[in-house]
Amino acid sequence: MADSQSPAPVTNFSAAMTSDKTFELSGRPARYTVLYFYPKDNTPGCTTESINFRELYPEFEKAQTEIYGISRDSLRSHEGFKSKLGLPFELISDPEEAVCGQFNVMKMKNMYGKQVRGVERSTFIIDASGNLVKEWRGVKVPNHADEVLEFVTTQP
């Protein structure tokens, strides 16, 4: 887990997301925006992570925090994943890896003994001014959503 030493501005971006909406970083009304990057829809770890965020969603809302999941999957895949899990938040589709590249989450990983390029499970918290205030890289799913919630609820 890595801490941002001091808030750093995040370059504005827009991206297609579920529910026929477009995500736009600038002008977000929330106190915090959580972007969690995950490797692939409908895989065990990504399903568990998304369910964990779903279960804590009412607490994030109380903390004036918006949650968005991001992967390289298509909008069609995201719509099915969101519906299947009953996710109350939107999923951002990044098939061109523009957002993944901006947050430097594309890494070489070992899968079944082969090197493959994929998304490193990572989470970023951006404040209402558009500054990155916290990041986690190489996330392990158990208790991660709880850690994120703890951060947003303990800030002054």
Q: How far apart are CA 47 and CA 97, in angstroms?
A: 21
Q: Which of 46, 63, 119, 126 is catalytic?
A: 46
> Does residue 23 contact residue 61 with C-beta atoms inside 8 Å?
no
Give dist(CA 145, CA 111) in Å, integer: 25
Instruction: Tell me the β-bridge partners of 109.
Output: 116
Cα separation, 41 vs 22, whole angstroms: 19
Is residue 100 annotated as part of the catalytic site, yes or no? no
Distance CA 141, CA 128 (A): 26
**Hey, which residues are catalytic here?**
46
